Amino acid sequence: MSTTIYLIRHGEAAGAWDDTLDPGLSAKGFRQAAAMAEKLGSLMSPVDIYTSPLKRTQETAAPLASLWKRKAVITPALTEVPSDGVDFSSRRQWLNGVLAGSWPDQADNLKAWREAILDFTTSRGADAVFVTHFVVINTIIGAIRESRQLVSCRPDHCSITKIRLEDGQLSLLALGAEAETVIR
């Protein structure tokens, strides 16, 4: 059995990563989410939608959920990279250090977070859409590419990456639009 999963990065956030824990979307982010829903909605029939617990992913998923008349399922395994205990003033520097590293060098909590993402992804039994974050998408694509690095692609806001799950193995069908990501 083959399952297709669409990985959607959330739209542009209204707040910087080191200013607020859970910003919603900016005006541009809402426009990006609407355009993504229109594009994806015209490509396929409705499937389950899973989002991170964070506001920007839920707001990104809302136009697609409305179009398909479905409720997005909030899924902790798709949440942003955990920065537990990192002070806001150090958060950007911490994340830049994490992103520059490789998986074997990461703290145990980040390795466990990675495994939860991959376990959730490989347990899907039906086509789905995941609305999630930059590092989550990189975690999945990195596993497909067998990369030890945390960053193996640079998904743009509301980009649509298409992967396949078949016999427990993930493969990349189409990488979504990429952009230079600046951690705000």
Mean pLDDT, consecutive 10-residue stretches, the chain (184 aa), reads 96 87 95 97 94 98 97 97 87 92 95 98 97 97 97 95 97 93 54
- Give the torsion through C-alpha atoms of 109, 143, 97, 112, to 10 deg: 0
Query: What is the predicted pLDDT for the residue at 182?
Result: 56
What DSSP line would sit under 120-176, residue for residue? HHHT--S-EEEEE-HHHHHHHHHHHTT-SBS-S--BPTT-EEEEEEETTEEEEEEPP
Query: What is the predicted pLDDT for the residue at 179?
Result: 86
Q: Where are the domains of the chain?
A: 2-174
What angle (nearest 5°) sits at the alpha carbon of residue 177, between those of residues 176 and 182? Answer: 115
CB 73 within 8 A of CB 49: yes
Query: What is the predicted pLDDT for the residue at 57?
Result: 98
pTM of the model: 0.95
Query: What is the predicted pLDDT for the residue at 160?
Result: 97
Query: What is the predicted pLDDT for the residue at 183?
Result: 54
| Other residues' Cβ atoms within 10 Å of the Cβ of residue 102 | 11
3-state helix, strand, coil in the chain (%, to 5): 40, 20, 40
Query: What is the predicted pLDDT for the residue at 1?
Result: 80
Query: What is the predicted pLDDT for the residue at 59?
Result: 98
Query: What is the predicted pLDDT for the residue at 84?
Result: 83
* Positions of E strands within 48-135: 48-51, 73-74, 128-132
Give the H or E element holding residue 8: strand 2-9
| Alpha-carbon span 67 to 144, nearest angstrom | 31
CATH of 2-174, one of 2.60.120.380, 3.40.50.1240, 3.40.120.10, 3.30.420.40: 3.40.50.1240
